[in-house]
Amino acid sequence: MPQMNLVQAVNSALDVMLGRDPSVVVMGEDVGYFGGVFRCTEGLQRKYGEHRVIDTPIAEGGIVAAAIGMGVNGLRPVAEIQFADYVYPAFDQIVSELARLRYRTAGEFSAAVTVRMPCGGGIRGGQTHSQSPEGIFTHVCGIKVVMPSNPYDAKGLLVSSIEDDDPVIFFEPKRIYNGPFDGDWHKPAVPWSTHSKGDVPAGHYTVPLCRAEIVRTGADVTILAYGTMVHVAEAAVRLAGVDAEIIDLRTLVPLDTDTMCSSVCKTGRCVIVHEATRFSGFGAELSATVQEECFWHLLAPIQRVTGWDTPYPHAFEWEYFPGPARIAAAIKTVMEAS
């Protein structure tokens, strides 16, 4: 089985779907000749041509609007937003048009559009290249929201997203594009590195868009995480020395409440981790769900470990970034509460 990092897994998913389904097209800024700023689309335009892998103007609203038109007419466009920070000019198209198309036409029309975008920090990108806006999109009815944490899931989830008949927002944590950095979260990211690869099948396979994964079983505390934070949580558990169960949510909408609540009912304690800002972040929804479903099983108040409620800083990135020490401190808090 081939070894791939997350960049290569995304590339492989796009390659498989372009070859498998003639209705699939890839579009975005620099995705063709240049191969994408992170090289996720490298070589695809040479292989499939300029009409299947399309370089677009720097106009995110136009990219998504064109993708919607393609989707309504039977294509399956995969639109790349170069950084998640740049999606806001396309927000109206996504929320007012793409997400509501099936509902407003009583099921007569739909648009199988996948919008890919690198998200999160840890690469010294500053405030305009490090945002994690996933919580905003989980609030919008009519779209699915996905964020993988490893190469195998990235490919399988992306294939599932492209094959899905409803729109999907597909976040790719750029900090782990080239591997989880072996727990050294203060180490600068090395672009195009090939270390920390995982086993990824070369051909077609899918990972369901509705199922979380238990990446570490445990009995003391449940940690709910997704994307980069899955790896940081693993490092934190080693630091804290507790028997923690780590749940990788993988898909935020639809959310696998059964898996996460079953775990919390077993352990009686819950720590929620995400990189986005705390106030109204997706962790608030997770916390509310756990409180509603698991209240009588909780032995301690739920803890959230998140980014700060500030613009993403450049000079103080590692104070903002939820590192192992902050998560370990939250674990200690819930363990000592009872």
SS3 78: strand
To the question of domain 213-336 being in CATH 3.40.50.920, the answer is: yes
| Active-site amino acid positions | 129
Question: What's the rounded Cα separation, in Å, for the pair 142 and 318?
Answer: 35
In sequence order, what are the beta bridge partners of 114? 78, 168
Q: pLDDT value at position 1? A: 86
Question: What's the rounded Cα separation, in Å, for the pair 314 and 172?
Answer: 20
CATH topology of domain 3-199: Rossmann fold (3.40.50)
Going from the C-alpha of 326 to that of each of 92, 185, 273, 321, the distances in angstroms are 36, 12, 10, 9
Q: pLDDT value at position 336? A: 93
Q: How far apart are the first and last CA of the chain?
A: 46
Residues of the chain with pLDDT under 70: 180-196, 338
Q: pLDDT value at position 106? A: 95
Q: pLDDT value at position 194? A: 36
Question: What's the rounded Cα separation, in Å, for the pair 252 and 134?
Answer: 9
In the chain, domain spans: 3-199, 213-336
pTM over 0.75: yes
Name the burial class of residue 296, with classes exposed (0-12), middle (13-18) and buried (19+) by CB atoms within 10 angstroms of its CB.
exposed
